[in-house]
């Protein structure tokens, strides 16, 4: 590996996240919080559980940030197959990407940071230094949920170690770092809560962040009054987390188009 590769944005961001995660955990253990009290009393179940949750959230973070989010294949043979399947619903105006020149499947978008087209593109996450797309979006939501649990528990632990009835100088020396950690955890908890709530809402309606923000500029959404991919809460969740019912977005779009045509004829 070239030396400059170690200074790439992805390595720096992931290293920073890892150091910050374990740094905050260390602060919670070194101060007089409930974690340290449990440890001193020999009650190791809760500290070990907290450590396992922290480790699990970190592993999920690395999995989401390092995995393929669903890049559109650029090999000519695979591209030709995509063109054939994309031609099934003739009414869908698919386009060829002006940057990587691949035929974009429905709901795909080119990411300028990753320099690739991503299937069911949601957004590019700077904290992950990776796109969130068709393949890693479910893991991203799972990461947000687990991370929020860890953050809220850490927030409670930090609060349990704060002692306010002390002289200012003594309090600053004994609890200043812990109080700063509490403020940091409060900020991260707020951000994680908003992100998780927004993504659960989008998943429940089978919409991506990009489609929600830019629906007025997306051709296949402008042609419909509502969301052509929404199949109800249960089927949306089942498809997102379990891949059921399976099927291409082109076929779902064509089904919605056919349903609208039938309803118009009935009227």
The CA distance from 152 to 108, in Å, is 35
C-alpha of 187 from chain center: 18
Nearest in space to 254 (alpha carbons), one of 141, 85, 95, 131: 85
Nearest in space to 221 (alpha carbons), one of 109, 125, 101: 109
Other Cβ atoms less than 10 A from the Cβ of 241: the count is 13
Collect all residues with Cβ–Cβ distance below 8 Å to 89 and sequence separation of at least 6. Answer: 250, 251, 253, 254, 257
Q: Is 118 helix (H, G, I), strand (E, B) or coil?
A: strand
The CA distance from 120 to 266, in Å, is 33
C-alpha of 144 from chain center: 7
The CA distance from 154 to 51, in Å, is 11
The CA distance from 62 to 139, in Å, is 11
Instruction: Please work out, in degrees rounded to the nearest 5, the angle formed at the alpha carbon of residue 130 by the alpha carbons of 26 and 93.
Output: 155
Q: Is 267 helix (H, G, I), strand (E, B) or coil?
A: coil
The answer to whether the beta carbons of residues 128 and 142 sit under 8 Å apart is no
Q: Annotated catalytic sites, by residue?
A: 125
């Amino acid at each position: 590996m070239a030396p400059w590769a170690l200074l790439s944005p992805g390595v720096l961001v992931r290293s920073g996240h890892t150091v910050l995660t374990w740094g905050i955990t260390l602060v919670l253990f070194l101060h007089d919080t409930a974690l340290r009290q449990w440890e001193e009393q020999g009650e190791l179940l809760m500290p070990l559980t907290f450590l396992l949750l922290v480790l699990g959230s970190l592993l999920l973070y690395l999995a989401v940030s390092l995995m393929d989010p669903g890049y559109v294949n650029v090999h000519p043979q695979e591209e030709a197959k995509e063109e054939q399947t994309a031609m099934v619903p003739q009414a869908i105006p698919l386009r060829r990407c002006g940057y990587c020149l691949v035929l974009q499947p429905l709901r795909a978008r080119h990411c300028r940071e990753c320099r690739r087209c991503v299937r069911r593109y949601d957004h590019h996450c700077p904290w992950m230094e990776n796109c969130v797309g068709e393949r890693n979006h479910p893991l991203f939501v799972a990461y947000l949920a687990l991370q929020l649990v860890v953050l809220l528990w850490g927030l409670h632990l930090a609060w349990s170690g704060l002692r306010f009835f002390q002289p200012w100088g003594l309090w600053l020396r004994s609890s200043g770092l812990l109080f700063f950690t509490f403020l940091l955890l409060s900020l991260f908890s707020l951000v994680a809560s908003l992100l998780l709530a927004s993504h659960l809402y989008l998943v429940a309606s089978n919409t991506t962040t990009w489609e929600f923000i830019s629906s007025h500029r997306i051709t296949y959404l402008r042609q419909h009054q509502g969301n052509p991919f929404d199949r109800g809460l249960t089927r949306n969740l089942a498809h997102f987390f379990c891949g059921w019912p399976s099927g291409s977005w082109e076929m779902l779009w064509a089904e919605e188009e056919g349903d609208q045509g039938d309803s118009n004829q009935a009227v």
